Amino acid sequence: MLTQPLPSEYGEAFANYISQVPAGDLQEMLAEQLEQTTKLISNLSKEQGEYRYAPGKWSIKEVLGHIADTERVMAYRLLRIARGDQTPLPGFDEGLFMSGSTFDSMPMSELIEDYRAVRQATLTLLRGLTDEAVLRTGTTNNMTISARALAYTIVGHELHHLNVLKERYLGE
């Protein structure tokens, strides 16, 4: 079971996401998030999926695409660090990623399928890591971070966006 990372295992840029993750089994949380997120958005109409709560904000489809893209990036970083790779990894520009995407033109069912595939890959990656591997640290975005802190970032990042979806898009 992955335990909460220590503050010394990550930089300030990751603290907001990691602090949102409650105590418990992280892999169970990842599996539960998969079901909760899928349930939350699976019955939205095309118009709802393309809804933006304000000009210049992402649509619900784009938020889901962003969650999947960010998880891919974080899981890639996690893999490299867990395997002992000390190559400094760059940050990524979420705005650039979004401008290069076609999420709004994709059916919601395809976005959900992609999100589910990414989450399943993350779950299988984590199952194969040793206790030693998750404690390894590396550098990303000019900050030291552990593999387990990246796993917690995945959960916390999605929690952040689910709260935004519920509050600003779906009125829950």
pLDDT of residue 171: 85
Q: What is the DSSP string of 66-108?
A: HHHHHHHHHHHHHHHHHTT--PPBP---HHHHHHT--GGGS-H
Interval 107-137: pLDDT, tens = 999 999 999 999 999 999 999 999 999 999 9
125: which 2 tokens? 């990656």
pLDDT at 42: 94
* pLDDT, tens only, 49-96: 999 999 999 999 999 999 999 999 999 999 999 999 999 999 999 999
Whether residue 1 is predicted with pLDDT greater than 90 in this model: the reply is no
Mean pLDDT of 92-104: 96
**Does the pLDDT of residue 172 top 80, yes or no?**
no
Can you give the pLDDT at residue 133? 98
Q: Has residue 152 got a pLDDT over 90? A: yes
pLDDT tens digits, one per residue of 8-21: 999 999 999 999 99
Q: For the domain made up of 26-43+57-169, give the CATH fold.
A: Four Helix Bundle (Hemerythrin (Met), subunit A) (1.20.120)
pLDDT of residue 5: 97
Q: What is the pTM (predicted TM-score) of this model?
A: 0.96
Query: pLDDT higher for 171 or 154?
Result: 154
The residue ranges of every structural domain in the chain are 26-43+57-169
Residue 109: how many other CB atoms lie within 10 Å: 9
Whether residue 133 contacts residue 67, with contact meaning beta carbons closer than 8 Å, is answered with no
SS3 assignment, position 6: coil
